[in-house]
Amino acid sequence: MAQSTVISVARLDAGLILAPERYDPRRSSPSCPGVPIGELAQIIGDTVAPALSGGNMPALILDTGDAQEGVIRATKRYQTLADIGSAKKRVQPGDVIISRLRPYLRQVAFVDAAIFTHSGKPAEVVCSTEFYVLRARDEHSFAFVVPFLLSAPVQKQLAAAQEGGHHPRFNHNALRAIVVPASLLELRNPVSAEVERAVTMFRQSEQALIGLCTKCVPNPGPSERE
């Protein structure tokens, strides 16, 4: 069914944006007690540029396809910051990343501490600038927001908020405005603990499979060694 809304000139976004999707009523959170994400977390924009990166510390460079359904797939080769080809955003353990590009791909993930170590040494983790990096404003874990962002109502909001035909994206204001229900906030700590436990189990499974793949490589025969 077609949706329509009437917006006065005074309520147009800065720049007098006329794109109809900007004012789609479906991008608003359901009316319920809660707190907007923008009051619970900052959207971090700390970037590192190729020319300024330097250093030989191992670095995991995340593209949008490396995050999906709540977890980061960390099977790719660690590089160094000197290897990055374009500006990236720095992330820290405990951050939540969500891709603004094509939200229907569900590229949302909790950034776990395990990926900040490579071969027993500290590593940096940076991600594509297509990600928004959410960092809690308080000392409590922000992991609980991951399943919330992947829930059907929020996914519908993000779908309605995307703009552009060829590379649809949603803007940071749409993300900040999403209201986290008070009922979920009351369960913040136990839900965060469950999310972190699930991510830890995923990481252990990922590493176990990598180890098995290494073990299953056949030893070269005499002719192959030559």
113 occurs within a structural domain: yes
Three-state DSSP class for residue 14? coil
C-alpha–C-alpha distance, residues 48 and 203, integer Å: 26
Q: Domain for residue 153, yes or no?
A: yes
* Nearest in space to 171 (alpha carbons), one of 43, 64, 84, 48: 43
Looking at residue 203, which CATH number applies to its domain? 3.90.220.20
The SS3 call for residue 55 is: coil
Q: Which domain holds residue 68?
A: 35-215
pLDDT of residue 116: 96
pLDDT of residue 223: 55
pLDDT at 21: 53
Domains contained in the chain, number: 1
Per-residue pLDDT of the chain (226 residues; tens, 9 = 90+): 445 555 555 455 555 455 555 445 444 555 678 999 999 999 999 998 876 555 678 899 999 999 999 999 999 889 988 888 889 999 999 999 999 999 999 999 999 999 999 988 999 999 999 999 999 999 999 999 999 999 999 999 999 999 877 789 999 999 999 999 999 999 999 999 999 999 999 999 998 988 888 778 777 666 544 4
Give the model's pLDDT for residue 26: 47
Q: Are 185 and 35 in contact (CB under 8 A)?
A: yes
Could you tell me if 168 and 64 are in contact, meaning their C-beta atoms sit under 8 angstroms apart? no
Q: Are strands 58-62 and 124-127 parallel, antiparallel or unpaired?
A: parallel
Residues 102, 170 contacting (CB under 8 angstroms): no
